[in-house]
Each structure stands twice: as C-alpha cells, then as structure tokens.
Structure 1
Amino acid sequence: MGRGRAFMYVILGGGVAAGYAALEFTKRGVSRGELCIISEETVAPYERPVLSKDFLLPESKHLNLTLLSLVFLSNCIHDRR
C-alpha cells in the first residue's frame, strides 16, 4: 500500500458538527490543502432538525438545508469514496 497524502488537520465524520468545525478552521486561517474531512456521507452537511420540522409544518414554503456551500466543502474533502 502506498503512502497517502498528509494533512495538518483531519475531521472525522461529515455531519453538521464537521461542517461547523471546517468553517471554524477556515475562519482561523487554515488554508486549502491543510484540512481533510473523512466521511461516508454522500451529501453536504445540513441541519437535520430543520428538515423534520419544516416537513411537518404546512406553512413552510421551501427548505434551505445547506449548511455550507458545495464549493467550500469540495476544497475540504480530499477523497470521496
């Protein structure tokens, strides 16, 4: 097995907490290529409670579930499997 790429920071899991952690890392000056998110999630982090509440409440016209932009996340995600 070959040697993989090294990262300064690694976040395990791709849920909401991982998204907020990645956002905080960038606010503190961590640059692209220093941060890696390792996850089996196939979608970007989103607020799950909002989804269930908006689904149950008929007055909700639309859902805005995206926590972080896909461009931001694509810069953090090293390898999707």
Structure 2
Amino acid sequence: AYMLKYDSTHGIFNGEIKQEGNDLVINGKTVKFYTERDPAAIPWKETGADYVVESTGVFTTTDKAKAHLQGGAKKVI
C-alpha cells in the first residue's frame, strides 16, 4: 500500500489506500492480489473478473496464458 501511495514516478496518490488482509482497498474499492505461481490456481471466477491482464512476462504464449482461463477468467490480455 505504501508504494502505491508514494510512487517515485507518479508522486503521492491523493486518495485513500489501505491493506485489509491480503487485499488492497483503494478509495473504498477492494482490489484482490494473488501470488500464485500457477495461473490456473487463481480463482478468477470467484472474483468476477472478466478480463485478466497477464503482465508477469512469464506466460507470454497463447498456450501458457490459457491457464488463466482454467481459473475462470473469460479473456486474457
């Protein structure tokens, strides 16, 4: 939460950022974070996520990125 609040590139975020358990709450909206090594283990369907942005640099082929679909994502970008 601290690094989002005080970003060295974008400056200080004027909204409210706090941590609640494993989630971030930004201006009252909960943002889920996962640290799974296997994207298929992330419960995207439970979170209601329609689109997942794959930005790890690890799952760079279509076949590898499809693992997010197994977790319930509808589309992977």
TM-score in same-fold range (> 0.5): no
Please state which structure has a larger fraction of its residues in strand: 2
Please state which structure has a larger fraction of its residues in helix: 1
Please indicate the TM-score interval, normalised by the length of the shorter structure.
under 0.3
TM-score (norm 1): 0.27
Larger RCO: 1 or 2 (CA < 8 Å, sep 6+): 1
